[in-house]
């Protein structure tokens, strides 16, 4: 079983993979190879000039003074967010939520993808709903990725004193030291083997010495001053390095570092498979989870393994052994081409030898089939590292998850949350991690259902928005007693009552304002009157 996939296999069986865009073919003419590679990948010219190749890893040379990944994302800047959202508070909240959703070691590409996706969701669904969903998701992900040091509020350090043993403990220690078993005797076989290995290693001879002329020239002291030595060290660090394949690697100075961009072991997906075997990739998750999600595929796979069709196979997930049997049968069905080739065989005897020609049946696609099998095995093992997929193999978790995603009423959602808690607390069929994951799924489903209104709920909402004070009283009475209003879902009723309270507050504010204006108009002005008293003179 091959555990790794080489670049040569990838170039032969999946020539359109994105990893090959960073690995030009080496024909012995570097300039010709580079120009031909640029003409074949014109959309990746900037990446090809910025990235470098180290074996099976593509790296980018980063300067210590360059901004962080978040600072290089233009659409994550506060100015761009204010231009799209038209509000400074919403823009700050959007940037904060994207930081919370992204992983702690997220790169520029990940920030760009998350921000672009939620900008599109804001244009479709509105700012408040999307920010609410982003906030909930960010809090859940921060709780998962937070370290113990981040969760600590305060801590105290104290120096422990050396504990003194009492007289009884000292006696016990002395008794144990007396009765201590001796060391096991030496093993003569192991000693002889180690002696032979050391003897063989010590007799090795150097067949060739590698000299570095650049190091001898630049790193030699001689009669150089401090400035000249510093300049020569910098020049030596900036020399182009070569890897084992002879490809030009990275040019770095002492103030730079390399950042991994692509890793072949982490980038294996369906694009690495040959075109004929890509249909098997879509069946892997269903075979892995089984039960309701992949029950039909699992039954069909077990029928193919049994080759009888009499026994009704179960819908439980595939085991590793069943996967190996299914993989072998599926690849034999895809790569079933056989050709007859002539082979020469020699037979030798005492009297002489003779040669005969025989026809031999072979599979010309055997090498490609082995490559596809190795890739599918890696993809199958990778599913075990996904917590959600690994939990879906349990029927209790999968049934509750599907019920949460298929519900359209928050009242049913509350019942499912109670059921999940009972399965975790009483029935013990769910672990704490699985219950927390289902609770998070339920919260995200609540946010999804909050903005969905039926036609009847939309009509009631329009009536509430256009109603005056008198009509609003009749609408409130109808929400309590009308059969159509009673048939609405819980999130729709909550939305209607929120709108009723908003409109009622606006009407009360308008009435209070008009009364204040009327009181100011009809109040009598206070006029100061001056009384003049005329006194007759004597």
Going by pLDDT thresholds of 50, 70 and 90, the confidence category of residue 258 is low
Selected residue with higher pLDDT from 449 and 250: 449
Identify the helix (H) or strand (E) that includes residue 342: strand 339-348
**Listed ranges 54-58, 231-235, 294-298; the one with the highest mean pLDDT:** 294-298
Q: Which residues of 484-517 are buried (b: 16+ CB within 10 A; e: fewer)?
A: ebeebbebbbebbeebbeebbeeeeeeeeeeeee
Q: Is 339 exposed, middle or buried (0-12, 13-18, 19+ CB in 10 A)?
A: exposed
- Mean pLDDT of the 233-261 span: 54
- Report helix, strand or coil for 62: strand
Higher local confidence (pLDDT), 514 or 412: 412
φ and ψ of 258, to 5 deg: -105, 140
Whether 18 and 271 have beta carbons less than 8 Å apart is answered as yes
Question: Per-residue pLDDT averaged across 100-124, rounded?
Answer: 83
Within the chain, what is the greatest distance between any pair of CA atoms?
180
Residue 3 pLDDT:
60
Helix (H) / strand (E) containing 59: strand 57-63
Terminal Cα-to-Cα distance of the chain (whole angstroms) = 137
Q: Which residue has the tokens 């504990």?
A: 163
Q: What is the pLDDT of residues 491-531, one digit of tens each?
A: 888 888 988 888 888 888 776 656 555 555 545 555 555 55
The answer to whether 24 and 33 are in contact (CB under 8 A) is yes
Q: Is 284 exposed, middle or buried (0-12, 13-18, 19+ CB in 10 A)?
A: buried
3-class SS letters over 451-478: CCCCHHHHHHHHHHHHCCHHHHHHHHHH
Q: What is the mean predicted confidence (pLDDT) over 338-350?
A: 77
CA distance 497 to 114: 34
Residue with tokens 């401090």: 226
Measured in whole angstroms, how far is the alpha carbon of residue 382 from the centre of its chain?
13
Structure tokens at 183: 């060391």
Please give the Cα distance from 302 to 318 (Å, whole number). 9
C-alpha neighbours within 13 Å on the C-beta side of residue 11: 11
Burial 31-63 (b: 16+ CB within 10 A, else e): eeeeeebeeebeebeeebeebbbbebbbbbbee
What is the C-alpha to C-alpha distance for residues 31 and 274, in angstroms, rounded to an integer?
31
> What is the pLDDT at residue 202?
59
- Write out pLDDT tens, residues 157-202: 566 666 777 888 888 888 888 877 777 677 767 777 778 777 766 5
The pTM is what?
0.58
Q: What does the pLDDT look like over 414-445, one tens digit per residue?
A: 999 999 999 988 888 888 888 988 988 888 88
> Is residue 351's pLDDT more than 60?
yes
Task: Report residue 534's pLDDT band, with 50, 70 and 90 as the boundaries.
Answer: low
- In the chain, what percentage of residues exceed pLDDT 70? 75
532 pLDDT tier (thresholds 50, 70, 90): low
- Span 335-351, mean pLDDT? 78
Q: What is the pLDDT of residue 310?
A: 54
The total number of residues written for the chain in this structure: 538
pLDDT digits (tens, 9 = 90+) for 365-375: 888 888 888 88
> Looking at per-residue confidence, does 124 or 207 come out higher?
124
pLDDT of residue 112: 84
Q: Determine how β-strand 256-263 pairs with β-strand 57-63.
A: antiparallel
Rg (CA), the chain: 38
Q: How far apart are CA 257 and CA 59, in angstroms?
A: 10
Cα distances from 297 to residues 63, 306, 322, in angstroms, run 51, 14, 13
Six-digit token pair at 497? 């009552």
Residue predicted with more confidence, 236 or 180: 180
CB 133 within 8 A of CB 447: yes
Per the model's pLDDT, the better-predicted residue between 467 and 10 turns out to be 467
From CA 27, how far away is CA 25, in angstroms rounded?
Answer: 6
397 pLDDT tier (thresholds 50, 70, 90):
very high
More confident residue, 452 or 260: 452
Lowest-confidence segment of 155-164, 167-176, 221-230, 386-395 by average pLDDT: 155-164
Quickly state the pLDDT bin for 403 (edges 50, 70, 90): very high
């Amino acid at each position: 079983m091959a555990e790794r996939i080489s670049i040569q296999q990838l170039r032969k069986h999946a020539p359109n993979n994105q990893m090959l865009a960073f690995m030009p073919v080496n024909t012995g003419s570097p300039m010709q190879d580079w120009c031909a590679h640029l003409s074949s990948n014109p959309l990746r010219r900037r990446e090809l000039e910025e990235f470098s190749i180290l074996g099976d890893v593509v790296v980018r040379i980063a300067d210590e003074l360059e901004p962080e990944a978040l600072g290089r994302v233009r659409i994550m800047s506060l100015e761009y967010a204010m231009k799209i959202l038209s509000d400074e508070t919403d823009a700050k909240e959007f940037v904060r939520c994207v930081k919370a959703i992204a992983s702690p070691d997220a790169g520029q590409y990940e920030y760009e993808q998350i921000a672009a996706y939620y900008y599109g969701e804001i244009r479709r669904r509105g700012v408040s709903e999307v920010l609410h969903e982003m906030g909930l998701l960010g809090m859940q992900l921060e709780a998962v990725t937070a370290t113990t040091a981040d969760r600590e509020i305060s801590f105290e350090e104290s120096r422990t004193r050396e504990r003194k043993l009492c007289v009884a403990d000292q006696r016990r220690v002395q008794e144990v030291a007396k009765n201590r078993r001796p060391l096991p005797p030496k093993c003569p076989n192991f000693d002889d083997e180690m002696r032979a290995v050391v003897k063989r290693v010590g007799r090795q001879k150097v067949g060739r010495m590698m000299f570095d002329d650049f190091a001898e020239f630049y790193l030699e002291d001689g009669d150089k001053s401090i400035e000249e030595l510093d300049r020569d060290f910098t020049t030596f660090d900036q020399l182009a390095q070569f890897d084992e394949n002879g490809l030009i690697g990275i040019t770095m100075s002492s103030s730079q570092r390399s950042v991994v961009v692509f890793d072949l072991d982490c980038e294996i997906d369906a694009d690495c498979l040959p075109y004929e075997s890509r249909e098997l990739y879509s069946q892997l998750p269903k075979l892995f989870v089984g039960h309701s999600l992949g029950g039909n595929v699992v039954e069909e796979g077990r029928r193919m393994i049994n080759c009888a069709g009499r026994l009704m196979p179960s819908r439980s997930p595939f085991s590793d052994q069943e996967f190996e049997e299914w993989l072998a049968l599926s690849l034999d069905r895809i790569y079933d081409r056989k050709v007859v080739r002539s082979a020469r065989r020699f037979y030798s005897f005492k009297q002489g030898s003779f040669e005969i020609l025989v026809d031999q049946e072979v599979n010309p696609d055997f090498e490609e089939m082995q490559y596809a099998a190795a890739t599918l095995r890696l993809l199958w093992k990778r599913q075990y590292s996904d917590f959600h997929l690994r939990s879906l193999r349990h029927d209790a978790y999968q049934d509750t998850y599907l019920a949460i995603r298929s519900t359209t009423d928050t009242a049913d959602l509350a019942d499912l949350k109670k059921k999940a808690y009972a399965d975790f607390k009483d029935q013990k069929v769910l672990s704490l991690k699985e219950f927390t994951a289902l609770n998070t799924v339920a919260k995200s489903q609540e946010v999804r259902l909050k903005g969905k209104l039926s036609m009847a709920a939309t009509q009631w909402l329009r009536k509430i928005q256009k109603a005056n004070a008198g009509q609003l009283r009749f609408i409130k009475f109808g929400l309590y007693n009308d059969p159509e209003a009673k048939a609405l879902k819980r999130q729709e009723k909550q939305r209607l009552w929120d709108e009723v309270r908003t409109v009622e507050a606006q009407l009360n504010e308008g009435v209070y304002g008009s009364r204040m204006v009327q009181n100011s108009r009809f109040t009598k002005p206070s006029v100061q009157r001056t009384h003049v008293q005329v006194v007759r003179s004597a």
